[in-house]
Amino acid sequence: MLKTSLKQQWPPKYDLQYQPDVNEKYWYKDIETASKEDLDELILFKVKNVMKYAYEHSGFYQRKWSKVGLHPNDINSLKDFEQVPITTKAEVREDLEEYAPFGSNVCIPYSDVHRIHGTSGTTGKPTVFSFGKEDWERIAHQHARIMWSFGMRPSDLMFIASPLSLYIGSWGALIGAERLGAKTFPFGAGQAGQTEKAVSWLKEVKPTVFYGTPSYALYLAEKAVELGVDPKEFGFRILFFSGEPGAGVPSTKKKIEDLFGGICIDSGTMAEATPWMSNTECEHRTGVHLWQDVVYTEVVDQHSKARVPYGQEGVPVYTPLERTSQPVIRYWSGDLTTWTDEPCQCGRVYPRLPKGIYGRIDDMVTVRGVNVYASLIENVVRRIEGLGEEFVMVVTREKIMDEVTVQCETVGSRDENELRQQISKELKRETGVTFVVELLPLGTLERTQFKAKRVIDKRNFKE
């Protein structure tokens, strides 16, 4: 049995002053190292409560479940829970339009709404989220607990190098670090000239933790070198990432660690599944742990939607277990991953995604019948000597044959023919597909201060 009293109440009330001793490895040892049975019991307790709550308070879930004759009382095991219908982004968008502007899934009175956030809306209409104050505090608390697991402590200073805008990543990092008692430096990103300023601030202030996207960290390093500064001079102990898959890609992880000299931590689910740190690596960096008592994560088959066994590929489906302002039950991520329950050195019982999130269903293109992920290309491009960090994969169709071109930039003076051959050979080995390699001078491809677009599919399937 878990010693914790947290199983007795839902929504959980956390002691917001609590903090482990700085030398303590775990925030809540009894949960993080519980037996599988005890952990499942705690998850089931939360699953049942969040479902009951959603059924009583959310118009969206009342209608959705009534349509299929589902009542929360039907759910008596985690196996039963696998039968609960998936929630998709399209459904949420429809609901937001019908019940504009906040949708019918807000379960608290408008007067109790504390924060409004949204997706950055790169495709389609942005999605709106409402958070009550208690949810916001619980998110901060759980984020602090997870940040503890990769070694962050109150003595740290965290530099936040991502936009402080609708984007919830930055705010989740900020409030987690604050709850942990660390100092924060919410610098932001995306303004003209801001990266040059970042370089000089970092040299002066020397924060110990970096938060941002991997592509931005690489851009920052490139800028620093251009300005004659070695990124190691910043002195980051930990570089912590979300928003993009890169930090889980082995060659990118290595590159970041080599460039900056700190450890590179992969993290993040999606804004809708906040607290989004529920997928985060511990200090051992063996792939993200699924913090199952915070957000219950299932990996399911892309087509049948049935849970896949450990070791297999599927799509993560998320259920945040403590949200009362806007519950989300079995949310379809559209991401691709494989999972494992093999133990990690840290002793936590949570399953892991050993390769992190390595693709999205839509960041993957099928070329001549083979699935090609942008992250596979990234792994090759970033380990080859003589190439810059940026790359784009372009897919075209000439008559009936797909052609896939990788565009990358050269640095240094390697022979271009030899370089082209090496890239082509390694890409073929990694993906099974033959690529056309296009080498460009450094600085040709678009730089990103946020999330990079790596796949351009120019095929027209409608003709």
Give the nearest distance from C-beta 133 to Zn ion in angstroms.
32
Give the nearest distance from C-beta 43 to Zn ion in angstroms.
18
Site of interaction with Zn ion (CB under 5 A)? 282, 284, 344, 346
Q: Residue 142: which H helix or E strand, with range? A: helix 133-149
* 64 neighbors 309 (Cβ within 8 angstroms): no
Kind of pairing between the strands at 279-280 and 295-300: unpaired
Nearer to Zn ion, 282 or 367 (CB): 282
In a 13 Å sphere around the CA of 343, the CA atoms on its Cβ side amount to 9
Residue with tokens 């002053």: 17
- What DSSP assignment string belongs to 143-206? HHHHHHHTT--TT-EEEE-S--SS-HHHHHHHHHHHHHT-EEEE----STTHHHHHHHHHHHH-
Give the nearest distance from C-beta 373 to Zn ion in angstroms.
25
* 405 neighbors 435 (Cβ within 8 angstroms): yes
Give the nearest distance from C-beta 345 to Zn ion in angstroms.
6
Distance CA 192, CA 167 (A): 18
Q: Where are the alpha helices (DSSP H) in 249-325?
A: 250-260
Peptide bond into 275 cis (omega under 30): yes
Residue with tokens 């009330």: 13
Give the nearest distance from C-beta 412 to Zn ion in angstroms.
37
* Termini Cα distance of the chain: 62
Q: Residue 50: which H helix or E strand, with range? A: helix 36-57
Give the nearest distance from C-beta 148 to Zn ion in angstroms.
12
Any idea of the CA torsion for 453, 459, 462, 463, to the nearest 10 degrees? 160
Q: In what order do the strands lie in the sheet with 401-410?
A: 436-441, 401-410, 387-398, 455-457
Give the nearest distance from C-beta 340 to Zn ion in angstroms.
12
Helix or strand or coil: residue 128?
A: strand
Give the nearest distance from C-beta 347 to Zn ion in angstroms.
7
Nearer to Zn ion, 282 or 455 (CB): 282
Tell me the residue ranges of DSSP E strands in 284-441: 288-290, 295-300, 313-320, 331-332, 335-338, 352-353, 359-360, 364-367, 370-373, 387-398, 401-410, 436-441
Give the nearest distance from C-beta 283 to Zn ion in angstroms.
7
